Amino acid sequence: MRSPWFLRATARDPMGELVRATDWTATPLGAPATWPAGLRAAVELCLSTRFPVLVTWGPALTMLYNDGYREILGTRKHPSAMGAPLAQVWPEVWDDIAPLLREVLDHGRPTWVADQRLVMHRSGFDEETFFTYSYSPLRDAQGRVAGLLDIASDTTHLVVEQRRVRLLAELSRTLQGAPSTVAGVVTAAVALLDGGPDVVAVQVHLGRPGEVEVVGASATPAGAARPLVAEAVAAGRVVEDGHVLVLPIRLTETDRRTGAVVLRLSPLRPVDDQTRAFARVVADTITAAVTSALRLERQVAAVTRVSDVLQHAMLEPQVAREDVATRYVPAVRDLTVGGDWYDVVELGGGPDAEDAGHDGWHDGPLDGAHDGPHGGPLGIVVGDCVGHGLEAASRMGQLRSAARALLLRTARPADVLDGLDAFARTLPGAEMATVLCGVVDPDAGTFTYSSAGHPPGVVLHADRTVTWLAGGRGRPLTVPAGPRPQAVVPVDAGDVLVLCTDGLLERRGAGLRERLDLLATVLADLPVDASPDALADELLARMAPEGSADDTVLVVHRVAAPSPAAAAAPGTAARAVPAPRWPAHDAAGAVVAALRAEREGAA
């Protein structure tokens, strides 16, 4: 016959029927009628609350629990856990809870732990769970600890949800800070998600319909077979294979590319609706970043196409010559133009012998056709506007056109810079631009030049000695300084003329003198008979192996042999020519007139 207290206690809880049906005489506790007062009080408390409560008693810590605790036991441990020893029911977490049990049983001190991670095997698989719980001592009539009371709360869903929210926030921040390319976005996403507590592995597939390829994958295999990816992409729906989810990437309609995100989820968590929703948000976050990167790549490609057209319009030499090599390396890598420029201009027939005593390209305009790629004077200009990118390129294009027009009109380097100086004052953003303008005359064996605050050029002679173009120096454009000076240096056939902008010379931590010395050393080490193209490539490789923080222009010219007539003459000198056709005070107007004349001539 059952005791009245036992019937009364078990009548209030859904678990009461199982408690009454358990053969307690087959356990160390014995018949309920013999249970001590301390155990009875604990059982009555346990079965009077809906909060998960476990009572254990005796050396074996025999279990008795209520309906709230039943859910903690999962699908495999209940109902056999009723009346069983605690260690027999929870062997997989014993190492985690034993220290707390000993604290209560040996010292009589209650314990408290919040959100403890416990990997349980309660539903047929190893499952990551989190619990907040407290162990309290239960004492017998003599005051000895005879058992313990476990009041627990399963916080798994809350802890996992918070962890996933933090991961999604970190994923969003990471992708916002990642390089704005598809490769950069995918690499950042894979690095963050790989090997985590919720996502074990990840793959990102991208491509045209029917041609989807892996563009990023974690070191741990994601485990999705290609047919699963093809099915998800073709059907536009999530495909599941155990803990592997294949989620199609939904790109914008303006981009025909498609793909999928493959997530191998933690095997310690069930694939339930919450997990599926989490995986969908992960895929959508990656998709949004990939879509943004694709949009930016299209925009960059469009800007690059524009800049390519600008470069061809602004920087393509008007003549093709084997004795000239030009290189342009912009500081903004997505663009092919910047604030630096160069130009190579064939100027026409050289000075006449009858004008001996005058220094050729010093006095005024030229007329007549050029004497061919290797027979006439050649104008060379290199310049540097402040800034980078398309705005600087726009200013550069105007200065370059003005310099070309002035060269064709006067061919006197100092006059070119005087006119360019006045023109720059009318062009916002052209302040402090530097320019070096010069004319190579093979027949006269001279290079005449003028510099507006520009780094010096250099001549490499056949005997490997160098001559620095350090004369003819004036201030940068728009800085008042009076008439521009110019200088003349002798050059022989085969000499190599090197002009550049400061992108080739300036380096953090190195002085200009040091870099100029390095340039001279590199030049002297190069084969003098190498082609200008080979010399230009080698100079860039040695002077700027890792690129430059500034735009870089390099012009390499091998001085041509004099014309047969000049070579046969006993001496060659420049002819005297009239002064420029515009007043000195209207140099800016001269540029406009020169540009108009050039266009009319082209027409």
- Which amino acid is residue 467, in one-letter code? T
- Residue 81 domain-assigned (yes or no): yes
pLDDT in tens, 548-566: 767 889 999 999 988 887 7
Q: 483: pLDDT confidence band, cut at 50, 70 and 90?
A: confident
Residues 64 and 138 in one domain: yes
Residues 102 and 174 in one domain: no
Whole domain around residue 421: which residue ranges? 317-586
- Residue 402 domain-assigned (yes or no): yes
Task: Give the three-class secondary structure for 174.
Answer: helix
Indicate the helix (H) or strand (E) that contains 592: helix 587-602
pLDDT in tens, 440-472: 999 999 999 999 999 999 999 988 899 999 999
- What CATH number does the domain containing 37 carry? 3.30.450.20
Indicate the helix (H) or strand (E) that contains 165: helix 156-177
Residues 51 and 97 in one domain: yes
Task: Confirm if 437 and 431 have CB atoms less than 8 A apart.
Answer: no
Neighbours of 465 (CB within 10 A): 11
For the chain, first and last CA: distance in Å?
122
Contacts of residue 27, defined as CB under 8 A and 6 or more positions apart, other chains included, come to 62, 83
What is residue 64's predicted lDDT score, i.e. its pLDDT? 98
Which of 28, 27, 29, 66 lies closest to 45, judged by CA? 66
* 592 or 449, greater pLDDT: 449
Q: 258: pLDDT confidence band, cut at 50, 70 and 90?
A: confident
Task: Give the three-class secondary structure for 65.
Answer: strand
- Percentage with pLDDT > 70 across the chain: 83
Residues 268 and 200 in one domain: yes
Alpha-helical (H) ranges within 316-442 are: 389-409, 413-424
- Residue 355 domain-assigned (yes or no): yes
Give the pair of three-digit tokens for residue 410.
């006067």
- Mean per-residue pLDDT, 288-295: 88
- What CATH number does the domain containing 501 carry? 3.60.40.10
pLDDT > 90? residue 41:
yes
What is residue 602's predicted lDDT score, i.e. its pLDDT? 43
Task: Confirm if 402 and 595 have CB atoms less than 8 A apart.
Answer: yes
Task: Give the three-class secondary structure for 160.
Answer: helix
C-alpha to C-alpha distance for 452 and 420, rounded to whole angstroms: 10
Task: Confirm if 378 and 562 have CB atoms less than 8 A apart.
Answer: no
- Residue 309 domain-assigned (yes or no): no
Q: 91: pLDDT confidence band, cut at 50, 70 and 90?
A: very high
C-alpha to C-alpha distance for 137 and 104, rounded to whole angstroms: 6
Residues 85 and 185 in one domain: no
- Percentage with pLDDT > 90 across the chain: 57
- Residue 596 domain-assigned (yes or no): no
- Residue 591 domain-assigned (yes or no): no
Residues 102 and 210 in one domain: no
Strands of the sheet containing 239-241, edge to edge, are 213-217, 199-207, 258-265, 244-249, 239-241
C-alpha to C-alpha distance for 64 and 54, rounded to whole angstroms: 6
Instruction: Measure the CA angle with vertex 88, ends 80 and 27; round to 5°.
Output: 65
Q: How many residues comprise the chain?
A: 603
- DSSP string across 463-516: TS-EEEE--SEEPPTTS--SSPP-EEEE--TT-EEEEE-HHHH-BTTB-HHHHH
Which of 391, 397, 399, 384 lies closest to 432, judged by CA? 384
For the chain, the average pLDDT equals: 84
Which of 335, 310, 388, 427 lies closest to 549, judged by CA? 388
- What CATH number does the domain containing 279 carry? 3.30.450.40
Contacts of residue 172, defined as CB under 8 A and 6 or more positions apart, other chains included, come to 285
C-alpha to C-alpha distance for 554 and 539, rounded to whole angstroms: 9
Residues 332 and 288 in one domain: no
C-alpha to C-alpha distance for 280 and 282, rounded to whole angstroms: 5
pLDDT in tens, 46-78: 999 999 999 999 999 999 999 999 999 999 999
Least confident of 148-162, 472-486, 507-521: 507-521
Task: Confirm if 538 and 526 have CB atoms less than 8 A apart.
Answer: yes
Which of 95, 114, 120, 96 lies closest to 268, judged by CA? 120
Residues 167 and 128 in one domain: no
Half-sphere exposure for 505 (CA within 13 Å, toward CB): 20
Its sign, for the CA torsion 181, 186, 189, 191, is negative
- Residue 600 domain-assigned (yes or no): no
Residues 274 and 363 in one domain: no
Residues 86 and 197 in one domain: no
What is residue 373's predicted lDDT score, i.e. its pLDDT? 47
C-alpha to C-alpha distance for 304 and 310, rounded to whole angstroms: 9
Alpha-helical (H) ranges within 206-327 are: 226-235, 273-315
C-alpha to C-alpha distance for 473 and 483, rounded to whole angstroms: 11
**Rounded to the nearest 10 degrees, what angle do helices 389-409 and 273-315 cross at?**
10
- Residue 594 domain-assigned (yes or no): no
C-alpha to C-alpha distance for 540 and 327, rounded to whole angstroms: 9
Give the pair of three-digit tokens for residue 567.
């070579």
C-alpha to C-alpha distance for 176 and 487, rounded to whole angstroms: 55
pLDDT in tens, 521-543: 999 888 888 999 999 999 999 98
Q: How far is CA 204 from CA 185, 211, 214, 296, in A?
A: 10, 14, 6, 19
Q: What is residue 21's DSSP assignment?
A: H
Q: 368: pLDDT confidence band, cut at 50, 70 and 90?
A: very low
Q: 413: pLDDT confidence band, cut at 50, 70 and 90?
A: very high
pLDDT > 80? residue 591:
no
What is residue 341's predicted lDDT score, i.e. its pLDDT? 84
What is residue 301's predicted lDDT score, i.e. its pLDDT? 75
Backbone angles phi, psi at 180, to 5 degrees: -80, 50
Residues 231 and 370 in one domain: no
Residues 82 and 168 in one domain: no
In the chain, the number of structural domains is 3
